[in-house]
């Protein structure tokens, strides 16, 4: 059995989002609704058919990468292609809207940037490597 090791992951960011990405996380969720009626013995729930993805990608900002903003600020409000790679053969690709960007700089030399994203009205493409 082969395991997905964190150092095998990567992110393909859209143009204008410049950073050396070293961490990412994503949550795939469906909204649920309680549909319990009178006489039911317990809660009954139904899941929505609509999938949502939220998450973040973070790392070290690149301040000389291009003439565009290092933090993606000012980039288009429309969605952009984002690919989250678990390993070289396993990925999740979708159109994402970047809802916020957080950055910090400390006196001892650390500087970080985090891009928060959400699924943008498209079906994600999951590629899963089953050859291992």
- Number of domains the chain is built from: 1
Tell me if 30 is assigned to some domain: yes
**Full residue range of the structural domain in which residue 68 is found:** 6-127
- In this model, does residue 15 exceed pLDDT 70? yes
Tell me if 1 is assigned to some domain: no
Tell me if 87 is assigned to some domain: yes
**50 phi and psi angles, rounded to 5 deg:** -95, 120
Tell me if 132 is assigned to some domain: no
**90 phi and psi angles, rounded to 5 deg:** -130, 120
Beta strands in the chain (DSSP E): 10-12, 19-34, 45-61, 80-87, 90-105, 111-119, 125-127
Q: Using one digit for the tens of pLDDT, what is the confidence trace for 23-80?
A: 999 999 988 888 888 988 888 888 888 889 999 999 988 776 555 555 565 556 678 8
Average model confidence (pLDDT) for the chain? Answer: 83
Q: What is the CATH number of the domain that holds 49?
A: 2.40.30
């Amino acid at each position: 059995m082969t395991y997905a090791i964190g150092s095998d992951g990567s992110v393909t960011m859209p143009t204008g989002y410049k950073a050396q990405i070293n961490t990412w996380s994503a949550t795939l969720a469906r909204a649920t609704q309680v549909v319990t009626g009178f006489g039911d013995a317990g809660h009954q729930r139904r899941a929505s058919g609509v999938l949502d993805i939220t998450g973040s990608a973070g790392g070290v900002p690149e301040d000389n990468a291009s003439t565009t903003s290092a933090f993606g600020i000012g980039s288009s409000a429309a969605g952009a292609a984002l690919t989250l790679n678990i390993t070289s053969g396993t990925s999740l690709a979708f159109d994402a809207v970047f809802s916020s960007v957080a950055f910090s700089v400390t006196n001892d030399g650390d500087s970080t940037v985090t891009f928060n994203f959400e699924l943008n009205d498209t079906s994600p493409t999951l590629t899963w490597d089953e050859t291992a």
